[in-house]
Structure 1
Amino acid sequence: MSDSLKYFKSLNNIRTLRAIAREMPLESLQEIHDKFNTVVDERREDENQARAQLEAHSQKIAKYIKLLEGEGLSLDDIVTAKTPSKTSNRTKRAARPAKFQYKDENGEIKTWTGQGRTPAVIKKALGEGKDMDDFLI
């Protein structure tokens, strides 16, 4: 919690306020009172504006719900309606057949289609002078 917030929480105590008020001149207290009232009024206005915006938003929603009901639709009809997408019409292509075969570090035989990243074992063998034809199935 910030120090200023702790300070203001302590001002919420009437005894603390009275103790502070006894040590201050009346003119200073009146100035603080006026400034505090200004801040409270500004905050109240902000709250009223937010409430008015929320009310206007709710009225717009109610207007469109009424319009939908007049057309024989419900909000659920709109929410659950599916729009055709480009990806839903695509068919998944068949897996490509393996073209290359190699043994990994554990001695297991693995295959590779020739697409994507070259397996480390094949890359190392190519660096040592082997040819890709050596790995053909």
Structure 2
Amino acid sequence: MDLSTLDFAELLQLKNDVDVEVRRREVEEKAKAKKQILEIAKAYGFSVEDVLGGKVAPTASGRKPVEVKYRHPNDESLTWTGRGRKPLWVVALLDSGIDLDSLRV
């Protein structure tokens, strides 16, 4: 792909598309890794808690995780609690004309 043939708006859209795809794949890769870890622990007769020595991924403050408020309409693995900066996938959907309320869970 020759990026020099794209105009500025097309480059920005491509960048947004790439960022969304990278985040989607990151979620997929983490899920694969988690599945492999669980399978390895199970093969040795251990639970993940046995191997890691306690709860899996506790929060630093010990608080309950915040509930998801928004979900991507086509990829349920992409979620947002509504706190902090908007994820790139939310920004991309808003830029495409989708209303934030339509993404509510």
TM-score tier, shorter chain, comes to: 0.3 to 0.5
Query: TM-score w.r.t. structure 2 length?
Result: 0.39
Larger RCO: Structure 1 or Structure 2 (Cα < 8 Å, ≥ 6 residues apart)?
2
Query: TM-score w.r.t. structure 1 length?
Result: 0.31
